[in-house]
Copies of this chain bind each other. A is one copy, B any other.
Amino acid sequence: MCRWAAYIGEEVFLEDIVTAPCHSLIAQSHCAQEAKSPTNGDGFGLAWYGERPEPGLYRDILPAWSDPNLKSLCRQIKSGLFLAHVRASTGGATSRANCHPFISGRWSFMHNGQISGFEKIRRRLEASINDDLYEQRQGTTDSELFFMLMLEEGLDADPQGAVTRATGRVVAAAHGAGIDPQLKLTAAFSDGTSLFAVRFATDGHAPTLYTRDGETGRCIVSEPFDREGQSWQAVPPSSFVAMTPDEMTVRPFQPALAQLALAG
């Protein structure tokens, strides 16, 4: 299980969210409190939006706590929309290509969770995506592949629908392979304009998700990065969150799994 944090609002230094708070994401890389494993030392990544349509991407395989480049970048770079992730591998090797966020065009995506039995359905799912997307695949993780399924399912036009249909394809692939579909999906993603998140698990036990409205903007995180404030709101399981600088909506996210399986 990993930890992540994302922000949308006025431009702030990445530092203000990623490294400065007392229980910042960097601190969580060392000692997360709500994760199955306290250590998230298998690499990290940042995607941030600036003047280009596509995001910047900085990923490395060191633990986040020991990378001086990360500290300097967070201190210098300002952005009004960014995603940051520290990784605890559930399978894939520790390589840059397996670090989150993943990007494609103007989209970025990061994930806390996993597809159980992924090795049994990986071929099936990979074979199902189109050549252009497949060529963008750099690593071996379930998360990167799920992002590609979302892109193929129309992320541009209908974000929630795309996640629903991508979930359906995983469920269908599991049924097709004769295994029980098990997906844990607490993920954030952005097109550079809005920030989206989903909290869902096929077994109902989805990793935690919190939001906060601050002075300069909104945060959405795996776990709060400070403990004093009362301002963090837990997002209920089976939710889909859409944020702009101006508003936030939380809608139910409850794919009809049986149906999806049939549809797949």
Contact = CB atoms under 8 A, between A and B. Distances in A.
A228 interface: no
Contact of A77 (B63, B77, B95): B77
Q: How many identical subunits does the complex contain?
A: 4
A27 interface: no
Interface stretch (A54-62, A161-169, A182-190): A54-62
Interface string A84-106: 00000100011111000000000
Given A39-B39, A138-B140, A140-B138, A89 B76 contact: no
Given A63-B63, A93-B138, A95-B96, 13 more contacts: A38-B39, A41-B66, A50-B78, A51-B78, A56-B77, A57-B69, A58-B69, A58-B73, A62-B94, A66-B89, A77-B77, A93-B96, A126-B126
Interface of A: 30-31, 38-39, 41-42, 48, 50-52, 55-63, 66, 68-69, 72-73, 75-78, 89, 93-97, 119, 122-123, 126-127, 131, 134-135, 137-138, 140
